[in-house]
Amino acid sequence: MAEIHSLAYAGFGVSDLDKWQWLATDIIGMQVAKRDEQGLTLRMDEYAQRFFLESNPVDDILVAGWQFRSEQELESYVGELREKDIPVEVLSREMLQRRMVEKAYSIQDPNGFTHEFFFGHSEAGLNDAFRSKVLKGGFVTGDLGIGHLLPFAKNGPQTVNFYKDVLKLRVSDYIREEVQPGIVVDATFFHTATGRHHSIATAQAPSPKVLNHFMVQVQNMDDVGLAYDRCIKAGIPIILELGHHPNDKTFSFYAQTPSGFNFEMGWGGVVIDDQHWEVKAFNKMSDWGHKRNFVL
């Protein structure tokens, strides 16, 4: 059975490329791969690009890019989508060149962005090692992908079913927390075949943005604290202070991007072995810290 290997890239439409370039390189620690009139691309590791930013006033997520190990697995997966009468588009040669992949297809998420499925992710040149201006270590990527995304759901049950039945992602666990009297956040977390605790999660909430946040994971715990200090010094709004999640065991903080959605910088994190994993429901997002400092 063909299934997704990892979340390999993500694309955002942003209105201020200069601010984003500064945030991505000087605060988070990514590296610019290329910038042109259409936008810029960012590296986190040996691959030629991991995030792309298009000049676009939407200031929101555009694309989630899902990797397959082989062309055969990709074609099998896409065949199953078509059997379910899911409209599938083929990416043009021009688009493949911009994504720096060999072959790709796309479908639409019910919440207003695109999922792309591909194989053949281009690596940077042998003499072009990833370099960060600010990180002591590097990012945790490889088989685990870039991190995770949390888009909001317009219709929670519909979105959960889409991620389970269409994308064929595996449920990791649930968090249902009463954040205010009578207001319950109901979040579902999903992982791919390689086991990062979640590559995408969703929760229904009224929001002008589709994307709540994206998360990147660092190898060195100090890089979380150092990035937090850089945000404070630069005046970047801290959304959630340093804290720890009970489900994925990640130590992290959340801050606001120039586009209004957030990024999470984390360390630690569970890698799931499905043979020994028990799906649980938690009653709180954080077991300590993550004090909210900014009202969305």
Q: What is the pLDDT along the chain (296 residues), one digit of tens a residue?
A: 799 999 999 999 999 999 999 999 999 999 999 999 889 999 999 999 999 999 999 999 999 999 999 999 999 999 999 999 999 999 999 999 999 999 999 999 999 999 999 999 999 987 789 999 999 999 999 999 999 999 999 999 999 999 999 999 999 999 998 777 877 789 999 999 999 999 999 999 888 999 999 999 999 999 999 999 999 999 999 999 999 999 999 999 999 999 999 999 999 999 999 999 999 999 999 999 999 985 44
In whole angstroms, give the CA distance from residue 255 to residue 249. Answer: 19
Q: Where are the domains of the chain?
A: 6-121, 142-289
pLDDT at 125: 81
Tally Cβ neighbours within 10 Å of residue 273: 8
- SS3 letters for the chain? CCCCCEEEEEEEEECCHHHHHHHHHHHHCCEEEEEECCEEEEECCCECCCEEEEECCCCEEEEEEEECCCHHHHHHHHHHHHHCCCCCEECCHHHHHHHCEEEEEEEECCCCCEEEEEEEECECCCCCCCCCCCCCCCECCHHHCCCEEEEEECCHHHHHHHHHHHCCCEEEEEEEEEEECCEEEEEEEEECCCCECCCEEEEECCCCCCEEEEEEEECCHHHHHHHHHHHHHHCCCEEEEEEECCCCCEEEEEEECCCCCEEEEEEECCECCHHHCCCEEECCCCCEECCECCCC
Rounded to a whole number of angstroms, the CA Rg of the chain reads 18
Paired tokens of 30? 């990514």
Does the domain spanning 6-121 belong to CATH 3.40.50.2300? Answer: no
Tell me the two tokens of residue 89: 């588009």
pLDDT value at residue 69: 95
The pLDDT score that the predictor gives to residue 182 is 74
pLDDT at 295: 46
pLDDT at position 180:
73
Taking the domain 142-289, which CATH number applies? 3.10.180.10
Entry pTM = 0.96
Tokens of 145: 């992908």
Task: Decide whether 6-121 matches 142-289 in CATH topology.
Answer: yes
